[in-house]
Amino acid sequence: MSTRAENRAAAAHHKVAAARRFPNEALLLVPAVIFVVATVVYPLLYNISQSFFDIGIAEIVSGAGKWVGFENYADQLQRPEFWAALGISVSYTAATVVLSVIVALLLAQLFQLNIPGRDYMRALILLAWIIPTVISANVWRWLLDGSYGLLNGMLRMFGIIDGDVFWLGEPVTAFIAVVAASVWTFAPLGMILLTAGLQSIPHSLYEAAMVDGASRWQRFLNITVPALKPVLYTTAFLLFIYTFKTFDTIFLMTGGGPGGATKILPVYAYEQAFIFFKFGKAAVATTILLVIPTVLSILYFHSIKKEERS
Amino acid sequence: MIEHNARRRAVAFRSIWATVGVVGLAATLVGCGTEAPESAEGGTEAPESAEGTTISFWQYYGDTTMPQGVPLYDFIKRYEDSHEGVNVDVRYIPYDDFYRTVIQSAAAGDAPDITLVNSLDTTSLAQAGLIQDLSDRVDEWGEKDAYFPGIWETTQYDGATYGIPHLADAYGIYYNKTLLDDAGLTPPKTWDEMEKTAAELSVDGRHGLAASGIEGVEGSTPLIIRTLAEGAEPTELDSAAGATALDSFQGMVDSGALSEGFLTWIEDDVASQFGTGEAAMMLNSATYISILREQYPDLDWSVSLLPEGSESRTTWLAAENLTISASSEYGDEAWDLITFMQDPDELAVYLPARNKLPARNDVPDETGDPVRATFSEQLEDSWAPTGDMAPVANEVFTLVQSALQQKLSGGDTDKVLKDVQAKIDEAISG
């Protein structure tokens, strides 16, 4: 048999084998598909469908809510509380993500330096991400308490404040406090992701730049930042998702207060569903919570694909 | 070549994190899902065991390691010991997750036989058809008249009885005897006196009074009690009574009698303030009696009735009812346990250990504890939401707290009351 004929035969054999393998491979996917449909797709669709029904406790148990079309949306979209919650969610998320990325980048850069005890410090900082929120949020609450909080104790010691300052009792400071607590939690995660990114930048680039006389700042600006850009985007995107869905930190620290100043959309939805038992209205809020990250994800993946193609 | 590898690594890295991103997104959205905490005693089902019937009992007090949980488990153990063939599977679910879990279980056809329900939520569950109408059993039982009417009222929906009061709790004024004695003061009997006494006690960085005013239902208690004292219900906030109540809190904050930080405190924080001497008096419930005794053994304190306003000294009633799920197959057994748990002699053992008060008037108090006696006396003058307000009580109370918040953030009393009243009316009218 000539070599060409042999190749043709081999190719034909592969084709047949692939065709024979295909149904089996598809079958192998079935458990994963069932799992994803049952645990992700179904709850999401169920949530969206709820937003079109008038649903109280009775209806959620019987499964027979009254179809109201877009009435829940009309009701929610004309409520200042809803828009306030959405606005607070967006500003809280933006502030937390930007600050977390900056802090994470600084930490990651710091730990690139060969300082003693570096690994231990990195592990310690990571604890902030690992500690259950129910603990960290309460610790923050105690730290920031106006009367017996550690922060005020220190500020008083240095003569910076005189009386009690209730950080969680004023809208602006409460907002800053929940952002600070969230940055404290999320920055270590960002640090780990960015460290991995930093370590993948070849040293030779820095060495070459040094030979050319580039300063530390120039090296950071012209080598680190461009090389790290994809990882930075990914980190920011991940932190956006984590932050936008945050519930426990704020629920435990402020309960959404004072006066709704930290009532982000998840807390608003929780209140509607599990305190006021208005599930249809809560579903509107959770659907919005679903739509915003989804749209951003699509844009994000689209831009990644575009970048890869280019 | 190096650049190529670096780029490939970056792309690979991106792909990994893109995948993580998708999973993260999915987790976000399923985050509000249906996880339920495990039973403190293991299972979550109520199976019929080989040795007899097992009934399930869900509650939010605590598990076997928590001071609020232990007395309940002991109580149920006494029932099991004296009732052969019946086992009770007690499951603790923290309050913030409680109704979510109960509702989801009911939707899945897996509701517990007995559910402990906050008096505020009893009507909502009855209205939703989740719990059984117990009227016939109550008639046969014949002990209805032993209950304080205000408490019994919280079990009623549409002319029928849907729960049996389990226990009650009242608010009173805890006062630090040492601080009051040193200042030559006595516990205030009226709110006018409270404003003056608390202001006088606010020295050395201390505040005269502490209370919980945090966002939500919990923080509505002070304003509810103060409004009731002026003769109006929380649903009638836009009234002279509501205005007096709001201005009273503003006045106390202005004079330093009450720390503005009270808007950030939950009731546990308030107890800490009082326990550490940061506050000379506190508005709080009987829940904290033994906590104070255990954690601050050197503190010399007592409790007085709520101060009187121009109309009354009514406490808002914190109570819990025991209910039987509509789908329970063990209605008789569940009823037997619930009524056992209302036996006056049994309650006489259980309630002091639990720091709570009886919902009925025939429970002997053998503790000889004057503090419990004061709370019991206070309980006789109590108020709980009924009628149209009952199913939306949580929403109304949340709004009541918001009035306090708005006023203390510099709002005009009349405008705050009008705005909040409009929202209360909307909540009630549905």
Query: Which CATH number does the domain housing residue B227 bear?
Result: 3.40.190.10
Task: Give the pLDDT band (50/70/90) at residue A14.
Answer: low
Nearest CA-CA distance, residue B216 and chain A, Å: 7
**Residue of chain A minimizing CA distance to B33:** A43
* Residue A59 domain flag: no
Residue A15 has pLDDT above 80, yes or no: no
Q: How far apart are the first and last CA of chain A?
A: 44
* Residue A108 domain flag: yes
Domain range spanning residue B127?
Answer: 53-169+319-372
Q: Which of A98, A37, A41, A47 is nearest to A289 (CA)?
A: A47
Q: Between A60, A244, A301, which is nearest B107 by CB?
A: A60
CB pair distance less than 8 Å for A193 and B17: yes
Cα B138 to Cα B117: distance, rounded to the nearest angstrom: 18
Range scoring the smallest mean pLDDT among A6-15, A262-271, B165-174 = A6-15
Tell whether B277 and B289 lie within a shared domain.
Answer: yes
% of chain B exceeding 90 in pLDDT: 69
Tell whether A30 and A88 lie within a shared domain.
Answer: no
Classify residue A276 as exposed, middle or buried by CB count within 10 Å of its CB (0-12, 13-18, 19+): buried
Q: What is the pTM of this model?
A: 0.80
- Secondary structure letter of residue B192 according to DSSP: H
Among B25, B131, B266, B267, the strongest candidate for a mutation testing the A interface, having the largest count of A CBs within 10 A, is: B25
Q: CB of B14 within 8 Å of any CB in chain A?
A: yes
Tell whether B191 and B99 lie within a shared domain.
Answer: no
Long-range CB pairs of A159-166, under 8 A, 24+ apart, other chains included: A163/B205, A164/B259, A164/B260, A164/B261, A166/B259, A166/B260, A166/B261, A166/B263, A166/B264
Tell whether B88 and B121 lie within a shared domain.
Answer: yes
Cα B333 to Cα B146: distance, rounded to the nearest angstrom: 22
* Residue A148 domain flag: yes
Domain of A130: which CATH number? 1.10.3720.10
pLDDT of residue B32: 37
**Which comes out higher in pLDDT, residue A5 or A292?**
A292
Tell whether A279 and A181 lie within a shared domain.
Answer: yes
% of chain A exceeding 90 in pLDDT: 49
Tell whether B133 and B183 lie within a shared domain.
Answer: no
**Residue of chain B minimizing CA distance to A273:** B100
Tell whether B291 and B196 lie within a shared domain.
Answer: yes
Local structure of B383: helix, strand or coil: strand
Which range is most confident: A1-10, A106-115, B29-38, B45-54? A106-115
Tell whether A22 and A159 lie within a shared domain.
Answer: no
* Residue B23 domain flag: no
* Residue B325 domain flag: yes
Beta carbons within 10 angstroms of residue B220's beta carbon: 27
Q: Between B260, B278, B394, which is nearest A148 by CB?
A: B278
On chain B, the residues whose CB falls within 8 A of the CB of A276 are 392, 394-395, 398
Q: CB of B368 within 8 Å of any CB in chain A?
A: no
Mean pLDDT value across chain A: 88
User: pLDDT of A193-232, one tens digit each?
Assistant: 999 999 999 989 999 999 999 998 899 889 998 999 989 9
Tell whether A284 and A162 lie within a shared domain.
Answer: yes
On chain B, the residues whose CB falls within 8 A of the CB of A173 are none
Q: CB of B66 within 8 Å of any CB in chain A?
A: no
* Residue B329 domain flag: yes
Q: Between A201, A256, A289, which is nearest B215 by CB?
A: A256
Mean pLDDT value across chain B: 87
On chain A, the residues whose CB falls within 8 A of the CB of B206 are none
User: pLDDT of B327-348, one tens digit each?
Assistant: 999 999 999 999 999 999 999 9
* Residue A16 domain flag: yes
* Residue A60 domain flag: no
On chain A, the residues whose CB falls within 8 A of the CB of B13 are 196-197, 200, 230-231, 234
Tokens 């929610």 found at:
A76
Predicted complex: ipTM over 0.90: no
Residue A5 has pLDDT above 60, yes or no: no
User: pLDDT of A16-53, one tens digit each?
Assistant: 565 566 667 788 889 999 999 999 899 889 889 989 98
Task: Give the pLDDT band (50/70/90) at residue B43.
Answer: very low
Q: How far apart are the first and last CA of chain B?
A: 69
pLDDT of residue A307: 75
pLDDT of residue B27: 37
User: pLDDT of B227-242, one tens digit each?
Assistant: 999 999 999 999 999 9
Quick one: average pLDDT of B138-163?
93
Query: Backbone phi, then psi, for B225, in 5-degree steps?
Result: -65, -40
Residue B26 has pLDDT above 60, yes or no: no
What total number of domains does chain A contain?
A: 2
In total, the C-beta contacts within 8 angstroms joining chain A to chain B are: 173
Tell whether B368 and B259 lie within a shared domain.
Answer: no
* Residue B19 domain flag: no
A15: Cα within 13 Å, side-chain hemisphere: 6
Partners of A105 in beta bridges: none
Range scoring the smallest mean pLDDT among A232-246, A249-263, A287-301, B22-36 = B22-36
Task: Give the pLDDT band (50/70/90) at residue B25.
Answer: very low
Tell whether A191 and A244 lie within a shared domain.
Answer: yes
Cα B217 to Cα B375: distance, rounded to the nearest angstrom: 22
Tell whether A125 and A46 lie within a shared domain.
Answer: no
User: pLDDT of B264-319, one tens digit each?
Assistant: 899 999 999 999 999 999 999 998 998 899 999 999 999 999 999 999 999 998 88
On chain B, the residues whose CB falls within 8 A of the CB of A261 are none
% of chain B exceeding 70 in pLDDT: 88
Tell whether A27 and A172 lie within a shared domain.
Answer: no
Do A261 and A168 meet the contact criterion of CB atoms below 8 Å apart?
no
* Residue B377 domain flag: no
Tell whether A286 and A242 lie within a shared domain.
Answer: yes
Tell whether B311 and B324 lie within a shared domain.
Answer: no
Return the amino acid letter for B25.
Answer: L
A198: Cα within 13 Å, side-chain hemisphere: 18
Pairing of strands B114-118, B160-161: unpaired
Quick one: average pLDDT of A189-194?
94
What total number of domains does chain B contain?
A: 2
Structure tokens at A116: 């003693």
Query: Backbone phi, then psi, for B404, in 5-degree steps?
Result: -60, -45
User: pLDDT of B186-200, one tens digit each?
Assistant: 999 999 999 999 999
pLDDT of residue B204: 87
Q: CB of B272 within 8 Å of any CB in chain A?
A: yes
* Residue A103 domain flag: yes
* Residue A94 domain flag: yes
Tell whether B70 and B160 lie within a shared domain.
Answer: yes
Residue B18 has pLDDT above 70, yes or no: no
* Residue A71 domain flag: no
Tell whether B132 and B274 lie within a shared domain.
Answer: no
pLDDT of residue A164: 81
Stated as kind and residue range, the H or E segment containing B317 is none
Tell whether A8 and A130 lie within a shared domain.
Answer: no
Q: Which of B23, B112, B129 is nearest to B329 (CA)?
A: B112
Q: Between B103, B272, B402, which is nearest A60 by CB?
A: B103
Cα A81 to Cα B342: distance, rounded to the nearest angstrom: 44
Tell whether B364 and B239 lie within a shared domain.
Answer: no
Do B112 and B56 meet the contact criterion of CB atoms below 8 Å apart?
yes
Question: Which B residues in the span 299-358 are in contact with A, Cβ-Cβ below 8 Å?
Answer: none
Structure tokens at A142: 């105690």
Q: Helices (H) and strands (E) in chain B — how many of each?
A: 17, 13
**Residue of chain A minimizing CA distance to B326:** A61
User: pLDDT of A80-138, one tens digit each?
Assistant: 999 999 999 999 999 999 999 999 999 999 988 888 888 888 889 988 899 999 899 99
pLDDT of residue A10: 60
Cα B143 to Cα B149: distance, rounded to the nearest angstrom: 12
Domain range spanning residue A129?
Answer: 79-309
Tell whether B77 and B118 lie within a shared domain.
Answer: yes
Tell whether A183 and A254 lie within a shared domain.
Answer: yes
pLDDT of residue B23: 35
User: pLDDT of B336-386, one tens digit each?
Assistant: 999 999 999 999 999 999 889 999 989 988 788 999 999 989 988 889 888
Tell whether A39 and A168 lie within a shared domain.
Answer: no
Cα B322 to Cα B338: distance, rounded to the nearest angstrom: 7
Length of chain A: 310
Residue B166 has pLDDT above 80, yes or no: yes
Tell whether B254 and B401 lie within a shared domain.
Answer: yes
Whether cis (ω within 30° of 0) applies to the bond prior to B307 is: no
CB pair distance less than 8 Å for A56 and B128: yes
Long-range CB pairs of A143-149, under 8 A, 24+ apart, other chains included: A144/A168, A144/A177, A145/B261, A145/B264, A145/B269, A146/B259, A146/B260, A146/B261, A146/B264, A147/B259, A147/B261, A147/B273, A147/B278, A148/B272, A148/B273, A148/B276, A148/B278
Tell whether A225 and A281 lie within a shared domain.
Answer: yes
pLDDT of residue A8: 61
